[in-house]
Amino acid sequence: MGQAPPSDSPAASAPKIDPGHTAWMLTSTALVLLMTPGLALFYGGMVRTKNVLGTMAHSMFAMALITLQWVVFGYSIAFGDDTLGGLMGDVGQYLGLGGVAFDAPRNAADRYPHMIFMAFQMMFAIITPALITGAFAERVKFSAYCLFMLLWATLVYDPLAHWVWGGGLLSGSETSWLKKTVGSGALDFAGGTVVHISSGVSALAFILLTGKRRGYPEAKVLPNNLGYTVLGAGLLWFGWFGFNGGSALASDGLASLAFTVTHIAAAAAAFSWAVVEWFHRGKASVLGIASGLVAGLVCITPASGFVGPMSALLMGLIVSPICYYFITILKPKLGYDDSLDAFGVHGIGGTVGALLTGVFCQKQYNKDFGADGLIQGEGQQLWAQLIAVAVTWVLAFAVTAILVKILDATIGIRVKAEDEDTGLDLSQHGEVGYNL
């Protein structure tokens, strides 16, 4: 054993890798990746038999394509040093993951390798565009989807991740636009704005511009296998412990808080959805319970490191009736075809969660990055949340609309009418999900 270096030596002051924190981040990264196959099952079970493989392919292929995008340049855009006044990160900083160490922390505060932080964030980048696909299921060409996904990740997700988490426009950094404007940055512990509002609002823009499925709403659309959907919901719930708990970026008390409130909010939202549906329709459907628990997970995501257990319970109880109204009452009235309710659950649930974060957050739970919200008599954070939500809505809707228009005018987005009638499984992939 060699002699320990003096306390003031460079070796003593250099950041150290902690095995416990590293193990938790590795576990959380794997849990978040599991959510995307879970999403494939969740969405795949709700479509018609002729579209089950095509719908699952949307989620599964995101794991391939977005990984490549993230490794080559996406991570740099999201987490590189500020450029263009905080609009994006330095594209060249981590190009091809150059400078991302496998055996040293990203900064002095971290206690795990930089590479695992990159991988953890990559799993978020993968699932976010996959969430959008629930809105336009059963009618979009696979080639158009792939190109849209690549462009959307580059022009919406990566910059927004930088704005909120990378020190950009909406972050708590002293140089951020939002912090200088209202005195607080956006609180988004694990992706209320970056993941759920961005994907949900983009889903709405996409379907408004591409139109409804053939025959909708007159033709009856029956799910091919709700068992898949229930299994997928369970995998999402399980993976979400890594999604939110891992966002503490340490194996500590904050991770245990995020882990616990995540479960409570999901349970409360599943319960409140069942109650509302029971009173409205006379029965509590299994699909409704699954949708409710996902709405609860979406809602608690931005708040999970900033609120306590009872606040999480209230957030879960609140979000499901709101999402239920948008999906069951407002959607039929307005006539838009949000096939699997990506906007109704993620766009609306994410918005509710981001705003309720400004209501229920308490500094006592996160002394380093938290704030007191309206429940503590402070309104500044709610105002910051409202601005961040509005900016995210505008960015996601506008860029998605532009992308859809360009792609539709060039390669075309929708499948041919006869291909839609045949189904995406055969027309896009030459396979069938069931051989009966």
Bond prior to 6 in cis (omega within 30° of 0): no
> By the 8 A CB rule, do 262 and 245 touch?
yes
Q: Which two tokens stand for residue 18?
A: 């902690």
| Mean pLDDT, range 124-138, rounded to an integer | 98
**What pLDDT, in 10s, does the model give residues 146-195?**
999 999 999 999 999 999 999 999 999 999 999 999 999 999 999 999 99
324-334 average pLDDT score = 97
Task: Using the structure block, give the residue that is written with the tokens 């509590």.
Answer: 284
Question: Residue 13: what pLDDT?
Answer: 54
pLDDT at 11 over 50: no
- Provide, rounded to the nearest whole percent, the portion of the chain with pLDDT above 90: 93
User: Range with the lowest mean pLDDT among 216-225, 287-296, 323-332?
Assistant: 216-225
**How far is it, in rounded angstroms, from Cα 158 to Cα 161?**
5
Average of per-residue pLDDT across 7-28:
77
Give the separation between CA 311 and CA 362, rounded to whole angstroms: 10
What is the arithmetic mean of pLDDT over 1-5?
Answer: 39
Instruction: Please say if the pLDDT value at position 231 is more than 80.
Output: yes
pLDDT of residue 8: 42
Beta bridge partners of 100: none
Q: What is the pLDDT of residue 85?
A: 87
Give the residue-averaged pLDDT of 251-257: 97
In this structure, the dihedral spanned by the alpha carbons of residues 260, 66, 23 and 96, taken in order and rounded to 10 degrees, is -140
What is residue 81's DSSP assignment?
A: P
Average pLDDT of the segment spanning 350-357: 98
Q: For residue 238, is pLDDT > 70?
A: yes
Helix (H, G, I), strand (E, B) or coil at 88: strand
Q: How far is CA 39 from CA 33, 121, 126, 137, 195, in A?
A: 10, 18, 11, 13, 14
| Residues contacting 206, CB < 8 A, separation 6+ | 132, 135, 136, 400, 404
Checking if the pLDDT of 12 tops 70, the result is no
Q: Which two tokens stand for residue 434?
A: 């069931």
Length of the chain, please?
A: 436
Q: Where are the domains of the chain?
A: 16-423
Mean pLDDT over 46-67 rounds to 98
DSSP 6: P
Q: What is the Cα 92 distance to its own chain's centre?
A: 26
| DSSP-assigned beta bridge partners for residue 89 | 82
Distance CA(321)–CA(189), nearest Å, equals 24
> Amino acid letter at 281?
R
Please state the pTM of the whole predicted model.
0.95
4: confidence class by pLDDT, cuts 50, 70, 90: very low
> pLDDT tens digit string along 385-432?
999 999 999 999 999 999 999 999 999 999 999 999 999 999 999 999
CB atoms within 10 A of CB 227: 12
Averaged pLDDT of the chain: 95
The whole-number pLDDT of residue 5 equals 37
Residue 14: is its pLDDT beyond 90?
no
Retrieve residue 380's tokens.
């500044």
CATH class of 16-423: mainly alpha
Quick: pLDDT tens for 57-105.
999 999 999 999 999 999 999 999 999 988 999 999 999 999 999 999 9
Instruction: For residue 371, give the nearest of 392, 385, 390 by alpha carbon.
Output: 385
